[in-house]
Amino acid sequence: MDANRELIEALNQLEKEKDIKKEVILEALENSLVAACKNNFGRADNIKVNIDRETGVVNVYAMKQVVEQVTDPVTQISLAEARKKDVTLNVGDTVNIEVTPKNFGRIAAQKAKQVVVQKIREEERKVLYEQYVTKERDIVTGIVQRYVGNNISINLGKVDAMLNENEQVKGEVFHPTERIKLYVLEVKDTPKGPRILVSRTHPELVKRLFEAEVAEIQDGTVEIKAIAREAGSRTKIAVWSNDPNVDAVGACVGVNGARVNAIVYELRDEKIDIINWSDDPAKLIENALSPAKVVSVHVNEEEKSARVIVPDYQLSLAIGKEGQNARLAAKLTGYKIDIKSESQVMGN
């Protein structure tokens, strides 16, 4: 089999195995060969390279204008010469004249190798990018590779992602080959392949874990209305059921806590409070302060603030350790929450 036919066979094989279109490579090769022609013709503005799609034979043509008197032999041809090729040609017409150099087969073979290697790299990079860009703002499972300084390299299958220090949960330590779930923040296309940034701290990680775990969220019966997270410590999630027969909180907790426990396990024992969403701000704030019991909630909707009264023995629970419960409730509801105990109110 000659070299030209071998090229076509190789490209057919490549199309099958790597899904890289033969036409894409042949067009790139033709363009590359036009540039190579500049060495032979001084300039290649009027040069066209054609590779036969079946045989692989390479021909070089110069597009020339038919003129009475030739002043530029590179771009012009005399009427007498032109009519030797085609008697119907007239002055002003353009004609393709074959000008394939003798050694062009060898040049073409060298260029073909370069172009094919480059195109394979480009296409593989493109395929990888397209494969992973669809996972942006979704969760993926990765295998811990190694620490790179304070960042962690994570293998996602065909490509590595980077878990930067500021996207890591404080206190989480990973070991090589450990499988972990991650939220994909961003996928960038770079000359070296897709650059993927992932997170363990993003609130959407918890949301996506619930979506994966709870069938009623997948089918739209239960909605996650709001989420507030202090990564590694505690998350509050407000849920709503579109079906009066389905308990939103119960669906998320699962039988004997199976569903929420699977998520807690994945998040290394981060506490998760699941509460019922309400369009009534007072009710929502009361629910958000769970597990604390509330006596009353006075809401100022204009100022987006609320005054909450709780039994004395519930005050520290409502505020939470270092104020966390109140802080997450405020983040979840969007209200500034002022918590007072009954005796504090009566004392005033």
pLDDT tens string for the chain (348 positions)? 577 788 888 888 888 887 778 888 888 888 888 877 776 666 667 888 898 888 888 888 888 999 999 898 888 999 988 898 888 889 999 999 888 877 777 777 778 778 878 878 887 888 889 999 999 999 999 999 999 999 999 999 989 999 999 999 999 999 999 999 999 999 999 988 899 999 999 999 999 999 999 999 999 999 999 999 999 999 999 999 999 999 999 999 999 999 999 999 999 999 999 999 999 999 999 999 999 999 999 999 999 999 999 999 999 999 999 999 999 999 999 999 999 999 988 866
What residue type is assigned to position 67 of the chain? V
Residue 327 to residue 308: CA distance in whole angstroms:
13
CA-based nearest residue to 306, from 341, 268, 333, 276: 333
Residue 197 to residue 219: CA distance in whole angstroms:
29
Instruction: Quote the pLDDT of residue 104.
Output: 76
Which residues contact residue 343 at a Cβ distance below 8 angstroms, ignoring those fewer than 6 apart? Answer: 312
| Under 8 Å between Cβ of 47 and 62 | yes
Report phi then psi at 116, rounded to 5.
Answer: -60, -45
| Under 8 Å between Cβ of 309 and 294 | yes
| Under 8 Å between Cβ of 86 and 77 | no
Residue 275 to residue 61: CA distance in whole angstroms:
74
Q: Is 219 exposed, middle or buried (0-12, 13-18, 19+ CB in 10 A)?
A: exposed
The conformation of residue 46, written as its DSSP 8-state character, comes to T
Instruction: Quote the pLDDT of residue 348.
Output: 61
Residue-range domains of the chain with CATH:
3-131 (3.30.1480.10), 141-199 (2.40.50.140), 202-277 (3.30.300.20), 280-348 (3.30.300.20)
DSSP letters of 225-240?
EEEEEETTTEEEEEEE
Residue 251 to residue 223: CA distance in whole angstroms:
11
Instruction: Quote the pLDDT of residue 44.
Output: 65
In sequence order, what are the beta bridge partners of 61?
Answer: 48, 98
Instruction: Quote the pLDDT of residue 124.
Output: 82
Residue 284 to residue 338: CA distance in whole angstroms:
15
305-310 and 296-300 beta bridge pairing: antiparallel
Residue 257 to residue 47: CA distance in whole angstroms:
73
**If residue 31 lies in a helix (H) or strand (E), which one and from where to where?**
helix 22-41
Instruction: Quote the pLDDT of residue 308.
Output: 97
Instruction: Quote the pLDDT of residue 42.
Output: 65
Instruction: Please report, for residues 7, 8, 62, 301, the alpha-carbon distance to residue 81 in angstroms, rounded to integers and kept in the order given.
Output: 35, 35, 14, 90
Which residues contact residue 77 at a Cβ distance below 8 angstroms, ignoring those fewer than 6 apart? Answer: 64, 65, 66, 67, 70, 95, 97
Q: How long is the chain?
A: 348
Instruction: Quote the pLDDT of residue 223.
Output: 97
Report phi then psi at 334, rounded to 5.
Answer: 80, 10
What b/e readout covers 89-113, taking b as 16+ CB neighbours within 10 angstroms? beeeeebeeebbeeebeebbeebbe
